[in-house]
Amino acid sequence: MKKSERSVFRRLIENDGVQTLLASLLCILGGLLIGYIVLLIIEPSAAWGSITAVVKNFLRYPASLQGKYLGQTVVRTVPLLLCALSVLFAYKVGMFNIGAAGQYVIGACATLYCAIALKLPWIVCLLAGAAAGALLGAVSGVLKTLCNVNVVISGIMLNWISLYFTNNLLSRNGIKRPTGPETIQLINANPKALLPTLGIDRLFGEKSAGIAIPLALVIAVLVWVVLNKTKFGYELRATGNNPNAAKYAGMKENRNIVLTMVIAGALAGLGASLFFLTGLVDWETSISSVPDMGFNGIAVAFLGGLSPLGSILSAFFIQHITSGGGGVDLRFYSSQISSLISSLIIFLCAFVGFFKLAIQNRIRRNDEKKAAAQANGSGKGGEGK
Amino acid sequence: MDNTPYAIEMLNITKRFPGIIANDNVTLRLRRGEIHALLGENGAGKSTLMSVLFGLYQPEEGVIKKDGKEVQIRDPNDANDLGIGMVHQHFKLVECFTVLDNIILGVEPTDKAGFLKKDEARKKVLELSERYGLKVDPDAVVEDISVGMQQRTEILKMLYRDNEILIFDEPTAVLTPQEIEELLKIMKNLAAEGKSILFISHKLNEIMSVADRCSILRKGKYIGTVDIAKTDKAELSRMMVGRDVEFVVHKEPSKPGDTVLEVSGMTVASKVHRNNAVKNVSFRVRAGEIVCVAGIDGNGQSELVYGISGLEPLVSGSLKLCGQDITRAPIRRRSLAGMSHIPEDRHKHGLVLDYTLEDNIVLQRYFEPEFTKMGFLRRKNIRAYAERLIEQYDVRSGQGPATVARSMSGGNQQKAIIAREIDKDPQLLIAVQPTRGLDVGAIEYIHSQIVAQRDAGKAVLLVSLELDEVMNVSDRILVMYEGEIVGEFDPKKTTVEELGLYMAGAKRMEVGR
């Protein structure tokens, strides 16, 4: 009886997914703990209240408003998830798509230009965003295959190029508000461009919540299916794991690399479309740094164990604490402190692999000890095996 | 010799891992000044035993004695203090440092202010290299020198530290025949100077030629220790494998049929230097024969195969497979036209190490309708196919088809590749050093598979650096030297010595088509 219980536990702990989940939870706890210590050092009296506010996020509001703030968190989760999918898709093929940030920016640019300047309907804007991201990804992919330029280098360059291009284009008359740095609100400029809500807005009590949410989930599942169940995914992962073996097996590695970057770029670009077409926020043409959505996508992908499905959970969590960061007590802490705490957790997320290894080592050491103890217990005389 | 005291004694060592006993009551006694071979198949427990001697593992039972006194070896530093040194199979050298810097690394002589006193070190190194006949250039940078010289650097590292007990872990695996010869001479020198040497190997010829005694492990168990003077290869291999091993490959005379592969005037560029690696080579391989390309490593054999298999483009010349021109065909088309390729480097080309065994087994066929339908992989069919091949070719692994290839032993990885390439039912089988790094049992199996392919009417192109293999397996021998084919031989009418002359470039004949 006891033995079978043990084996269920063993099977659970030896499962790769369970190990990833455990490691991720450890990272989160570590990040929160260090964040709490920082708060304690700055101002002990308000530290507990602030750290709980970060963890609670929407739950710190009265019940009637919780749905609305939950809705906003979910709406912001969508682009984060898409950027994470972009990063992990390229990662499986052996490339580090730090350019997801730029692909996201150029996606926003194309989407908003189509929506505000050209007054096109939402579906066209959506596809334009994906296409723009794909194009930028293709540039990185082609540079990699033709000139052997590392996608990290080309990605970082293209991030800045896309940012300034976007700021320039969206600052034009008729796109930017005359009174401020933001683009004109979609509801005024072109209501057809707003994503359909399918009643999801009423569910949350938040008007920006809509079709983007189920769409993002479907895309995550699709990415998982493509990577794990199809011939295309088999080729891509082989190319990522061992390009020489892929070539030896007659796969077209160059085509696969470009195609991967196109898909990764399209995912990031689509993330921007699915965010800006909700009307929750507008593009700020005065920003001078690349939005961190793409970079956070890297953290989300790793926290999610580089699995599309794990990324759904980790994207929501990261967005949850980022939004929750707004709840720290601003009488004692500067407003940047919320970013600091979420950054700490995101930073710790890079250690998922490390914690996973630690868990595996622990299991192994336990096994060795047990084997030794068993051998000693069963007598040293007859080892017939 | 029989009365020489023991330098190191490992008595009744038992080391367990979950599920297996890696060393089961193993005893190894090394006499002062002897060369003691440690023989065993892959996975017999040789590495575990050495790790115990180095303090990397603590044994559950047994004691270690140095010069008759019991010692505790808790970590590699303890081993170092006891004068135990090791040349690893994969060298542990800093590539961008000079030979001298590598030798003194970690024990740098310094003056009081902390400045290096390299002159002193250089003197000692030169003295040592003179005394033991270890030719090295102390100022050469490691990445520029030959593998043989890198190995001599590793040996000097041990001598510089005044190690008395020298362990050589499969030292000949990376060397050319000439370098092997030289290394064996060096080992004899070292022993004559009073060093005690443990020689880990599964090459029986080398053990027979240098060792004084040999201890044999099989599946973690200690089988026995024999005097080399009183034994022969057959007995050693019987003790190692547990049954009689055939050294001679049994095969009928070949009955060559139509030409399968026709290479005309092929030239392939080199990746490492400006000259072409393969120069205007022409030959043909017919159905039902094994043509073997012999030569010293680095004479263009690798590039020859890259050119034929499509991994590298040709500079000039043409290729025909079964009458079809494949000079510029992509790799996939060559494969579909009937070419199978057991690559030289199974980790670089042969396997996706992080893929499961089943995914590696379909690496050349995953796109066929049996395994892919509407773009989706047919997992059930892949599993069934993999299970059949695993059974048929006796590929052993922890979790069957779901085992990650990285975790499998080298021999079984190679068997998986061979299963995959042979089961494709090719017209032409290219096998490049198919038995490299494998033990006697696996080599025997692989040779029999290659001969079986020939007997089934396939054309086989075998590239090998092992002259035994060349003489035993082939029906026709082509010798390659500096990118050219300099001789063609019938293995029954030639000798190893004659081949050696051609391989070293001392003789050549005009080989027509």
Contacts of B364 in chain A (CB under 8 A): 249-250
Q: Is A372–B343 a contact, with Cβ atoms under 8 angstroms apart?
A: no
Question: What is the pTM (predicted TM-score) of this model?
Answer: 0.76
B349 Cα to chain A: minimum distance (Å): 4
- Calculated CA dihedral for residues A379, A381, A383, A384, nearest 10 degrees: -130
Predicted confidence (pLDDT) at residue A336 exceeds the cutoff of 80: no
Q: Which of residues 328-367 of A touch B (CB under 8 A)?
A: 364, 367
List, for residues A315-331, the tens digit of each pLDDT value.
998 888 888 877 777 78
Predicted confidence (pLDDT) at residue A77 exceeds the cutoff of 70: yes
Q: Output the six-digit token pair for B378.
A: 């047919």
Out of A230, A241, A248, whose CB is closest to B355?
Answer: A241
3-class SS string, B83-141? CEEEECCCCCCCCCCEHHHHHHCCCCCECCCCCECHHHHHHHHHHHHHHHCCCCCCCCE
Predicted confidence (pLDDT) at residue A376 exceeds the cutoff of 90: no
Out of A241, A370, A372, whose CB is closest to B354?
Answer: A241
Q: Is B60–A368 a contact, with Cβ atoms under 8 angstroms apart?
A: no
A247 Cα to chain B: minimum distance (Å): 7
Tokens 């291009």 belong to A165
State the pLDDT at residue A1: 44
pLDDT per position in chain B (513 positions), as tens? 567 889 999 999 998 876 678 889 999 999 999 999 998 877 788 888 988 998 888 888 899 999 889 999 888 888 888 999 988 877 888 888 999 999 998 888 888 888 888 888 899 999 998 888 888 888 988 877 777 788 889 999 999 988 999 999 888 766 767 778 888 998 999 999 899 999 998 788 889 999 999 999 988 889 999 999 999 888 888 888 777 766 677 788 888 889 999 999 999 998 767 778 899 999 999 999 999 999 877 788 999 999 999 999 999 999 999 999 999 999 999 999 999 999 988 888 999 999 999 999 999 999 999 999 999 999 999 999 999 999 998 888 878 899 899 888 777 899 999 999 999 999 999 999 898 767 777 888 889 999 999 999 999 999 998 888 888 899 999 999 889 999 999 998 988 888 888 887 778 887 644
State the pLDDT at residue B346: 87
**More confident site: A10 or A229:** A229
Nearest by Cα to B159 from B83, B225, B74: B83
Predicted confidence (pLDDT) at residue A384 exceeds the cutoff of 60: no
Question: Is residue A383 very low, low, confident or very high in pLDDT (cuts 50, 70, 90)?
Answer: very low
Q: What is the mean pLDDT of residues A91-116?
A: 95
Q: Percent of chain A scored above 90 by pLDDT?
A: 51
Mean pLDDT, all residues of chain A:
87
List, for residues A238-274, the tens digit of each pLDDT value.
999 999 999 999 999 899 999 999 999 999 999 999 9
Task: Give ipTM to 2 decimals.
Answer: 0.79
B472 and A CB contact within 8 Å: no
Highest mean pLDDT among A6-20, A95-109, B195-209: A95-109
State the pLDDT at residue A120: 95
State the pLDDT at residue A6: 59
Out of A234, A250, A372, whose CB is closest to B377?
Answer: A234
Q: Is B352–A238 a contact, with Cβ atoms under 8 angstroms apart?
A: yes
Question: Is residue A157 very low, low, confident or very high in pLDDT (cuts 50, 70, 90)?
Answer: very high
B13 close to B62: Cβ distance less than 8 angstroms:
yes
- Calculated CA dihedral for residues B417, B418, B420, B426, nearest 10 degrees: 130
State the pLDDT at residue B513: 41
A222 and B CB contact within 8 Å: no
Q: Which of residues 318-347 of B touch A (CB under 8 A)?
A: 330-335, 341, 343
A315 close to A126: Cβ distance less than 8 angstroms:
no
B159 Cα to chain A: minimum distance (Å): 36
Out of B331, B364, B377, whose CB is closest to A247?
Answer: B331
B284 Cα to chain A: minimum distance (Å): 23
Three-state DSSP state, B244: coil
Contacts of A380 in chain B (CB under 8 A): 61
- Sheet of strand B459-464, all strands in order from the earlier edge strand to the far edge: B339-342, B428-432, B459-464, B290-294, B476-481, B484-489
Nearest by Cα to A320 from A81, A51, A54: A54
B84 close to B162: Cβ distance less than 8 angstroms:
no
Can you spell out the DSSP letters for B488-509?
A: EE-GGG--HHHHHHHHTTS---
Q: Is A231–B377 a contact, with Cβ atoms under 8 angstroms apart?
A: yes
List, for residues A271-325, the tens digit of each pLDDT value.
999 999 999 999 999 999 999 888 889 988 988 888 999 899 989 988 888 888 7
State the pLDDT at residue B201: 83
Q: Is A248–B332 a contact, with Cβ atoms under 8 angstroms apart?
A: no
A221 and B CB contact within 8 Å: no
Tokens 């088509």 belong to B513
Q: What is the mean pLDDT of residues A346-354?
A: 77
> Which residues does residue B15 pair with via DSSP β-bridges, in sequence order?
B23
Contacts of B309 in chain A (CB under 8 A): 248
**A245 → chain B, closest CA residue:** B349
Q: What is the CA radius of gyration of chain A?
A: 24
Alpha helices in chain A (DSSP H): 2-14, 16-42, 44-56, 63-92, 100-112, 122-147, 151-170, 186-189, 200-204, 212-229, 231-241, 243-248, 253-276, 293-303, 308-324, 337-349, 352-377
